[in-house]
């Protein structure tokens, strides 16, 4: 059995694909592993790049998934994986040369179901920022994990645990990671972290979440949050983590997505939908303890976005 299966969803990623693959190969070294590169009907030369690398490196398997969307591609790859751990890596990104060894060492010592890492985010201007890992030794690590809002690429996951719980990304919309990721911690007490920049996240304008033209997919935030709330209900954790989930809704509706709603005339109806969603799930959101800890300027921004 491979120690780790690295799953790479690929769609028109020719620009950065070789850098991504090279960084993974350098990090794997002699570790028994497999790379599952899943092409999602790319129209550029991504598939040719993958086939070129697969000829040189036997650990790379090229797969084809014809169902559109990152969720479908990740699910497809996870079903094919044979490793003890799985790691979803985006084709635009890179990893540190020590990433795989450090994460697997932590996983082996702790027998964790989830191992989270720190990440360095780089925007199109070359500006860098650090996304820290949730400290697994903190007493309230589950609270912070729920509020964090991480991408699938920021954790390695024990495959058998993933399969036992039937986890999968919901297909058909963007924000598919939001609908799942913050709920994972509800199903395990075996969590570990490595707070180092082991992943390099490329936050580019080409990203699905950073479009400069209007897309109705900006409204996918609503079914994603509804799905997340449903997961907490099914796990019987809605009351225990009420404040954390409430804050997650506030941040994503009144801060993050509000930027897209206000940027496009077609998106302004999103403000009304946000009000309706908060009234439905969290009518007393203004009293949220995490919101009240934030700077007054941010609190005012949230309230303004609510009444828009």
Residue 294 to residue 219: CA distance in whole angstroms: 26
Of 161, 186, 209, the domain-final residue: 209
Q: What is the pLDDT of residues 198-208, one digit of tens each?
A: 999 987 655 54
> Which pLDDT score is estimated for 204?
64
Geometric angle at alpha carbon 59, from 79 and 120, rounded to 5°: 80
Question: Could you tell me if 223 and 255 lie in one domain?
Answer: yes
Q: What is the pLDDT of residues 140-179, one digit of tens each?
A: 999 999 999 999 999 999 999 999 999 999 998 888 899 9
Helix axes 46-56, 14-28, angle to 10 degrees: 20
Assess contact for 166 and 180: CB atoms under 8 A.
Answer: no
Of 175, 209, 243, the domain-final residue: 209
Question: Could you tell me if 131 and 273 lie in one domain?
Answer: no
Question: Could you tell me if 51 and 141 lie in one domain?
Answer: yes
Helical (H) or strand (E) element with 157: strand 155-158
Question: Could you tell me if 124 and 267 lie in one domain?
Answer: no
Q: What is the pLDDT of residues 87-103, one digit of tens each?
A: 999 999 999 999 999 99
Domain of 198, CATH number, reads 3.90.550.10
User: Considering the chain, what is the average pLDDT of its residues?
Assistant: 94
Of 194, 209, 224, the domain-final residue: 209
Residue 151 to residue 125: CA distance in whole angstroms: 21
Residue 229 to residue 157: CA distance in whole angstroms: 22
Domain that holds residue 226: 211-307
Residue 154 to residue 136: CA distance in whole angstroms: 14
Count of all residues that appear for the chain in the document: 308
118 has a pLDDT exceeding 90: yes
Question: Could you tell me if 280 and 132 lie in one domain?
Answer: no
- How many distinct structural domains can be found in the chain? 2
Question: Could you tell me if 292 and 215 lie in one domain?
Answer: yes
Shortest CA distance to 78 belongs to which of 91, 89, 93, 92? 89
């Amino acid at each position: 059995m491979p120690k780790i299966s690295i799953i790479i969803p690929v769609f028109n990623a020719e620009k950065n694909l070789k850098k991504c693959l090279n960084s993974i190969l350098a990090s794997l070294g002699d570790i028994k592993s497999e790379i599952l590169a899943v092409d999602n009907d790319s129209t550029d030369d991504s598939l040719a790049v993958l086939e070129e690398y697969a000829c040189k490196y036997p650990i790379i398997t090229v797969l084809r998934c014809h169902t559109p969307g990152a969720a479908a591609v990740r699910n497809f790859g996870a079903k094919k994986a044979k490793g003890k751990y799985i790691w979803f890596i985006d084709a635009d990104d890179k990893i540190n040369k020590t990433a795989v060894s450090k994460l697997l060492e932590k996983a082996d010592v702790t027998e964790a179901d989830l191992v989270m890492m720190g990440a360095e985010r780089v925007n199109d201007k070359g500006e860098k920022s650090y996304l820290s890992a949730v400290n697994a030794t903190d007493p309230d690590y589950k609270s912070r994990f729920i509020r964090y809002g991480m991408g699938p690429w920021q954790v390695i996951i024990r495959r058998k645990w993933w399969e036992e719980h039937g986890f999968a990304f919901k297909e058909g919309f963007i924000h598919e990671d939001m609908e799942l990721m913050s709920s994972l911690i509800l199903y395990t007490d075996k969590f570990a972290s490595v707070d180092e920049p082991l992943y390099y996240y490329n936050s580019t304008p080409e990203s699905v979440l950073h479009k400069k033209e209007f897309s109705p997919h900006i409204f996918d935030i609503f079914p994603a949050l509804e799905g997340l709330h449903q997961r907490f209900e099914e796990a019987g954790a809605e009351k225990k983590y009420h404040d954390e989930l409430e804050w997650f809704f506030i941040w994503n509706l009144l801060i993050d997505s509000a930027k897209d709603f206000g940027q496009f005339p077609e998106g302004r109806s999103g403000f009304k939908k946000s009000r309706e969603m908060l009234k439905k799930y969290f009518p007393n959101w203004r009293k949220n303890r995490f919101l009240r800890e934030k700077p007054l300027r941010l609190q005012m921004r949230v309230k303004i976005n609510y009444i828009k």
